[in-house]
Amino acid sequence: MRQINISTQPIRLDYSINNAQMNLHSTQPKIQLERTPAIVEISQPRGELTIDQTACRYAIGFKNIADFARDVAAEGRQTVMETIGRIAQEGDQMAGTSSHVLANIAANSTVSADVEVIYAHIPLPDISYQANPVQFNPIDGNVDLNLHRGTVRQDYRRGSVDIQVTQYPSIEISTVDVKV
């Protein structure tokens, strides 16, 4: 009797696998903000204070040069007119027949008039104030934006599969005589 022997040898493969690689290199985006602050310039000029004391000073006898000279000249004219009148009156008295005329004239010239004290209202000074307006100068602020974009650089390596046959398949068929 004949017997068939079949022996098989399977294929053997070696796999060399390199995985795919992706390397990403990135730079961060940058934002630069430069700002100029807003400024408000405010100034308050001084006001003008005016005090006019002319009326109250005149009331107590303090006058400026021009008014003082005019008043002294008027008083001088008045005194001259009164003196002329007095001298004319004394001349008329001397022309008279009275014997005591010179004694009366001498007595009257030594007597002075009584001093009068007068209570009078003194006017208040004229006070005025002129305020100057506030000077307001706003200066706008500013924001400058500089944007530096980020970058992405990629390095991609493809994967690979390398297959090598280390053992080839085979089939061996043989026959053997077997005696029974």
DSSP annotation string for 15-73: EEEE--EEEEEEE--EEEEEEE--EEEEE-PPPEEEEE-HHHHHHTT---HHHHHHHHH
pLDDT at 78 over 90: yes
> How far is 88 from 81, CA to CA, in rounded Å?
11
pLDDT at 98: 67
Q: Which residue has the tokens 């530096």?
A: 148
**Averaged pLDDT, 22-43:** 91
pLDDT at 111 over 90: no
pLDDT at 118 over 90: no
pLDDT at 99: 67
Query: Band of the pLDDT at 140, cuts 50, 70, 90?
Result: very high
Q: Is 46 within 8 Å of 134 (Cβ atoms)?
A: no
> How far is 169 from 12, CA to CA, in rounded Å?
8
Query: Band of the pLDDT at 180, cuts 50, 70, 90?
Result: low
SS3 (DSSP) at 119: coil
> How far is 175 from 2, CA to CA, in rounded Å?
6
What is the count of structural domains for the chain?
A: 1
pLDDT at 51 over 90: yes
Q: For residue 19, what are the domain limits? A: 2-177
